Amino acid sequence: MRIIVTGAAGRLGSHLVRLLRSRGHDVNGLDMMAVDDITRVDITDFDAVHRFIYAHRPEVIIHPAAWTDVDGCARDPERAIIVNGLGTQNMALAAAAVKAAVVYVSSNEVFDGKSTRPYYEYDATHPINPYGYSKWVGERAVMSLNPHHYIVRTAWLFAHGGKNFIQAILGAAQAGKPLRVVTNEVANPTYNDDLAEALALLIETGRFGIYHFVNEGACSRYQFARYFLDKAGYADLPVSPIAAQEWPRASTPPAYAAMRNLAGQHIGIVLRPWQDAVDAFLEKEGLLRVGE
């Protein structure tokens, strides 16, 4: 299958390129940065996007490219819409022009966090911050412009390399800094490599629609941190539980944005429990100290 991956220099995009090529697909990558065989294309540049798509004539475009700085989006909401919303519109239009399917990687932050149960794929969206709104704009663009679409929402992604929640907390622990972690923000920790595997399986099904690809189970930020600290050998390290209101930030995340992977389960795509995914991540990083 001929596939284009956007954001191909990023953690999810780069892993997808390697994984899809290992599965025998013909893969081209684009990103704002030209690295190795990745072509520099600005997704907000309509003409550049169309030139690249027309040149490669893909059957599928997987589109994880986004501005994922949630607090940055809160400080500059119009830029968030331009990148995450209108950039996605460009991709959806180009895909439709060459009759390619689109996989749009979205976020649990399209929900308002007021549910009393995990969100299903077709629950009403109602973003409460600029990042979530910009991802919702992207969803609407894809759904309205290209009938051959997969909307894939995920949450709390952690990956090898770069900086994310696990690295930040473990780095603070290694430096001996006091730890304070929020207890009233709940979602699904999701391992980058597991998400990539699920996406690779999804595009081979031809089952278009909305999916929630997250590792099974949900927890608070505090429970998440406590779990991987314990597994990394910091069981005796105290962590102070705090409310979100005690951690000022530019963006307001949904308090309860856990999601249920019902549609994926229906077609046989289920990610393992988040605890097992964390164990695998720590083991690959050489940080697993408990349960080896």
Task: Tell me, yes or no, whether 12 lies in a domain.
Answer: yes
The string of pLDDT tens digits covering residues 154-203 is 999 999 987 789 999 999 999 989 999 999 999 999 999 999 999 999 99
pLDDT at residue 267 in the model: 97
The residues facing 101 across adjacent strands are 60
Residue 267 lies in a domain: yes
Tell me whether residue 243 is in a domain: no
pTM of the model: 0.95
Task: Note whether residue 169 is domain-resident.
Answer: no
Q: What's the confidence (pLDDT) of residue 291?
A: 64
Active site residues: 131
Task: Return mean pLDDT, the chain.
Answer: 95
Give the structural domain span for 122.
2-163+189-217+258-274
Q: What is the CATH number of the domain that holds 267?
A: 3.40.50.720
84/63 Cα distance (integer angstroms): 10
Which tens digits make up the pLDDT trace of 51-99?
Answer: 999 999 999 999 999 999 999 999 999 999 999 999 999 999 999 999 9
Tally the domains of the chain: 1
Residue 223 lies in a domain: no
Q: Is residue 78 a part of any domain in this protein? A: yes
In DSSP notation, the chain reads: -EEEEESTTSHHHHHHHHHHHHTT-EEEEEESS--TTPEE--TT-HHHHHHHHHHH--SEEEE------HHHHHH-HHHHIIIIIIHHHHHHHHHHHTT-EEEEEEEGGGS-S--SSPBPTTSPP---SHHHHHHHHHHHHHHHH-SSEEEEEE-SEE-SSS--HHHHHHHHHHTT--EEEESS-EE--EEHHHHHHHHHHHHTTT--EEEE---B--EEHHHHHHHHHHHTT-TTS-EEEE-GGGS--SS---SB--B--HHHHHTT--PPBHHHHHHHHHHHHT---S--
Q: Return the pLDDT at 292.
A: 54
Q: Is residue 135 part of a domain?
A: yes
Please report whether residue 73 resides in a domain: yes
